[in-house]
Amino acid sequence: MYTLPTALRSVLDPQYLEYCLSKLYDIGEWNECLYWLRGLNDTYRVRTSSGYYILRVYRCSIDESDVAYELSLLTQLKTKLSSMDTKVSEPIAKKDNTLHTVLNAPEGNRIAVIFRYLQGTENVLHDEKSCFSFGRSAAELHSAMDQINIIQPRYDLDTNFLISQSLDRIVNYIREQNGATLFLDEFANALIERINTAAGHGLDWGICHGDMHGNNNAFQEGDHFTHYDFEWSAKGWRAYDLAQVRGRKRQLEDRKEQLWNALISGYRSVRDFSAHDESAIELFMIARRFWVMGLEVTFIHNDFGVLDYSEDWLEGFINEFRSYSIV
């Protein structure tokens, strides 16, 4: 029985956020707080007497350990990348030197972090020069990640996380008796087997960005990139990280191969990426799509609504997965 109103997901009033946060930071007087972007999390742009900042309010399901991992990663990467062209988003410390705040929201606790405002522009990677630069930047990021140590516990971006857990969520949504369930189960198991076979012959493994799709997770300034949105970062196969940018949206269909060759050349100008790793890219592009389907299921009831996620949505994914001829 409900004694108080309950929300699935709220949008916190910018004035409430200013009230809660402004006195905790030494970033000048707050002049403006605008609700900037609704994504999986909520983003606000803050303008103070010292300039602009980005405020992220994480969704309710993100707990303090998740944010602590991301902030530890960013803090260490800032140091490791200090002599390189590649940069990462920088969390701003509060007056007490902590980096996050737990806020009360109608749906439960949500965590807020303020980041330094990033200059530059979003590059959709439609030319070889920018693809080469992005590949080089991704390699610098991976090289820096090889040098850091994070004590916070974290999942791995392995077949359990990408495929098995996704399958469980999908089947729970469409129900066991759905005619697509048998195919999805066979498809997932065949995909896991193929990835395990590839991994058994040796694939580069280490901390990944986790969402390196090359659309809206980096800003370019000159020939250099600053990466942000490390929410999905964890240890995984580097081929999975690069598969995301290989399968990015808004690609020029007739130039895909040229642009990919430029990107991987940029990557290899900094660190090794074997032919075997590259041969696994297509496999991880498929794994990424399966994970995306499972991710969408996660947010249907709380964020998206079920209207657009019925038979047409399911049929679209099934037809896509059948086209891969894995089963």
> Is residue 137 predicted with pLDDT exceeding 90?
yes
Residues 287-308 pLDDT 10s: 999 999 999 999 998 889 999 9
CB-based burial, 151-177: b 16+ in 10 Å, e otherwise: eeebeebbbebbbeebbebbbebbeee
pLDDT tens per residue across span 37-83 = 999 999 999 999 999 999 999 999 999 999 999 999 999 999 999 99
pTM more than 0.75: yes
Ranges 93-102, 119-128, 315-324: which has the least confidence = 119-128
Please tell me the predicted confidence (pLDDT) of residue 295.
97
- Provide the sign of the torsion angle of the four alpha carbons 216, 276, 187, 163, taken in this order: negative
Whole-number pLDDT of residue 5:
81
DSSP-assigned beta bridge partners for residue 206: 236
Q: Where are the alpha helices (DSSP H) in 201-237?
A: none
For helices 311-323 and 281-299, the axis angle rounded to 10 degrees is 170
139 in Cβ contact with 268 (< 8 Å): yes
Band of pLDDT at residue 158, cut at 50, 70 and 90: very high
Look up residue 172 and give its two tokens: 């729970």
pLDDT at residue 156 tops 70: yes
Cα dist from 255 to 125, 126, 214, 314, whole Å: 11, 8, 16, 30
Q: In this model, does residue 123 exceed pLDDT 90?
A: no
Q: In the prediction, which pLDDT does 1 show?
A: 57
Do 237 and 103 form a contact (C-beta atoms < 8 A)? Answer: no
pLDDT value, residue 254: 84
What pLDDT shows up at residue 214?
74
**Whose CA is closest to 208, among 114, 69, 55?**
69
Q: Give the total residue count for the chain.
A: 327
State the virtual CA torsion across 141, 144, 148, 152 in degrees, nearest 10: 0
CA–CA separation, 143 vs 207, rounded Å? 10
Q: What is the pLDDT of residues 202-236, one digit of tens each?
A: 999 999 999 998 777 899 998 899 999 999 999 99
Q: Name the β-bridge partners of 109.
A: 104
* DSSP bridge partners of 34: 45
More confident call, 284 vs 213? 284
Long-range contacts of 295-301 (CB under 8 A, 24+ apart): 295/166, 297/166, 297/169, 297/170, 297/172, 297/173, 298/169, 299/40, 300/173, 301/8
Percent of the chain surpassing pLDDT 90:
89
State the pLDDT confidence band at 253, using cuts at 50, 70 and 90.
confident
What is the pLDDT confidence band of residue 239, given thresholds at 50, 70 and 90? very high
- In angstroms, the CA 258 to CA 278 distance is 15
Better-predicted residue by pLDDT, 30 or 5: 30
Cα–Cα distance, 277 to 230 (Å, whole number): 23
The letter for the amino acid at 122 is E
How far is it, in rounded angstroms, from Cα 68 to Cα 81?
Answer: 20
Residue 33 near residue 46 (C-beta atoms within 8 A): yes
Calpha distance 244→265 (Å, rounded): 17
List strands edge to edge, sheet with 218-221.
87-88, 224-227, 218-221
In the predicted model, is pLDDT for residue 20 greater than 60?
yes
> Which residues have CB under 8 Å from 183's CB, separation 6+?
318, 321, 322, 327
CB atoms within 10 A of CB 178: 15
- Residue 3's pLDDT band, with cuts at 50, 70 and 90, is confident
